[in-house]
Structure 1
Amino acid sequence: ERPYPCPRCARRFRKKTHLDRHLRTHTGERPHPCPRCARRFAHRQHLLRHLRLHGDSRPFTCPQCGRGFGRKAHLARHLLVHSGTRPHACARCGRRFSSKTNLGRH
């Protein structure tokens, strides 16, 4: 049962706190400021993830080369370097790249 409807869209929520958090997507409210820079975040979890970038906290380590990353997604992207996987193809020439950034530079 989802008794809490969003007044702006069709989504419904089991808990009022979930509705309140969802409403920020409509209002743009960002109540969680970073104490080290000017950025603000809608969700506390996003602030905590951001804070790792300010420090030397790099809990995600590459098992092949030992390089550390602040985000799991960044480690996953890095692992493509070791695997040789190149999922991003140029629409014009077909050349493949391991990252969107490298594809964009091409």
Structure 2
Amino acid sequence: IHTGERPFTCGVCGRRFNQKGNLVTHYRTHTGERPFACAQCGKRFAQKPNLIAHQKTHTGRQPFTCLECPKRFKSKLSLRVHQRDHAGERPHACAECGKRFRQKVNLAVHQRTHTGERPFRCAECGKGFSQKAHLLRHRRTHGGGI
């Protein structure tokens, strides 16, 4: 029965949930905890369904085909994002400057140019970076690669 009641509250941001499991999953967005690890590559996930979807990428199969070009994809989501290229869709807009993006994750990365947020820190020197790739490139300057 759906009563609309949301008795479980996040102690960090105040967001409310109807089930304790949903609160636990949400709380990981604050802690960064990723308890589900891929046995093949070690990549970690906050939610088990995301791990299961990821594991399919190791099979090499690409069952999703674009109807407008010959490209094939491992996941339905990747195909959907690709189809935005054909449609010219950029559904995610920056509230600050109006720049638009195909993927929400790219918008989030872009928004750091406005906020100055640098969540990726070098363990060796403490320098912060707005993108993980920039941190990985920087770490090579310390020698020893990644």
* Fold match (TM-score > 0.5): yes
Bigger mean CA offset, 26-35 vs 59-68: 59-68
- TM-score, normalization by structure 1: 0.67
User: 1:32 and 1:59 mapped to 2: Cα distance?
Assistant: 25
Counterpart for residue 59 of structure 2: 55
Bigger mean CA offset, 28-37 vs 55-64: 55-64
Q: 1:43 aligns with which of 22, 43, 47?
A: 47
Q: 1:70 aligns with which of 59, 71, 74?
A: 74
Q: Once the 2 structures are TM-superposed, how far is the Cα of residue 58 of structure 1 from its aligned partner?
A: 2.5
Q: How well do the aligned residues superpose, as a CA RMSD in angstroms?
A: 2.4
Matched, 1:5 2:48: no
- State the one-letter code of the partner of 2:63: P
Percent identical across equivalent pairs?
41
User: 1:60 and 1:75 mapped to 2: Cα distance?
Assistant: 7
**Preserved contact between residue 52 and residue 58 of structure 1 (Cα < 8 Å):** no
User: 2:41 and 2:70 mapped to 1: Cα distance?
Assistant: 29
Closer/same/farther in 2, CA of residues 2 and 51 from structure 1, 3 Å limit: same
**Preserved contact between residue 34 and residue 40 of structure 1 (Cα < 8 Å):** yes
- TM-score, normalization by structure 2: 0.51
User: 1:75 and 1:25 mapped to 2: Cα distance?
Assistant: 26
Counterpart for residue 123 of structure 2: none
| SS of the residue 2:49 aligns to | helix
Higher relative contact order (CA 8 A, sep 6+): 1
Q: How many residues align?
A: 88
Give per-residue Cα distances to partners, 1:47-85, cap 9 Å, x unaligned: 12211221123232223445421122321243356x4x4
**Unmatched segments (≥5 aa) in structure 2:** 91-101, 104-146
Matched, 1:24 2:28: yes
Q: Once the 2 structures are TM-superposed, how far is the Cα of residue 86 of structure 1 from its aligned partner?
A: 4.1
